[in-house]
């Protein structure tokens, strides 16, 4: 009995460790997922992005690594993109996945970029977060597992959601969203 419990604890610990490093295979055993691209206006089956902590640290640098890989948070009103009003696409700073469009960004007064919906629900992943004695929903990049921020239910219509995202977890690509293929067709 003691041996079974030790094995189960070891397996549970291994799963948690692998989840934190982004090396767990996707549900169903596949190594790809469907990601929507604003540039092409199409879905593509893309590989999950998996890297060691050392590789992520080299690619991202200090602050981005802390936020994307260690679930950190930048101070409000300090990020590069919180007050950005240009037209374009907000992408994951870890892997380049399209996450949010400028037309869904709004002034929430929080000091972080806030959006009322993602480019596509499949491009992000929502995870229950009970850290710091709070019940929240964490938002991660579906492709690389990078921590983006949190989603709350106090946003504007049409969704009532507020995706409160760290600037350092994003890169911005200025684009006109008026012409195809840059806009998603419903």
Tell me if residue 164 is catalytic: yes
3 state DSSP class of 70: helix
Catalytic choice (92, 95, 141, 164): 164
Rounded Cα distance between 105 and 117, Å, is 8
Taking alpha carbons only, the member of 18, 3, 71, 4 closest to residue 48 is 18
> Is residue 173 classed exposed, middle or buried when 0-12, 13-18 and 19+ CB atoms within 10 A define those classes?
middle
Annotated active-site positions, please? 164
């Amino acid at each position: 009995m003691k041996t079974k419990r030790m094995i189960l604890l070891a397996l549970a610990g291994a799963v948690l460790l692998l989840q934190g490093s982004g090396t767990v295979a996707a549900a169903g055993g596949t190594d790809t997922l469907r990601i929507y691209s604003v540039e092409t206006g199409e879905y593509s089956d893309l590989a999950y992005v998996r890297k060691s902590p050392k590789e992520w640290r080299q690619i991202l640098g200090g602050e981005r690594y802390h936020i994307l890989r260690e679930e950190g948070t930048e101070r409000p009103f300090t990020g590069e993109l919180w007050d950005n009003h240009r037209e374009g696409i907000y992408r994951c700073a870890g892997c380049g996945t399209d996450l949010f469009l400028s037309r869904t960004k709004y002034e929430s007064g929080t000091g972080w970029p806030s959006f009322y919906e993602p480019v596509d629900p499949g491009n992000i992943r929502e995870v229950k977060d009970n850290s710091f004695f709070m019940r929240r929903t964490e938002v991660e990049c579906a492709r690389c597992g990078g921590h983006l921020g949190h989603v709350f239910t106090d946003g504007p219509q049409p969704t009532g959601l507020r995706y409160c995202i760290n600037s350092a977890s994003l890169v911005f690509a200025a684009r006109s969203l008026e012409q195809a293929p840059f806009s998603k067709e419903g």
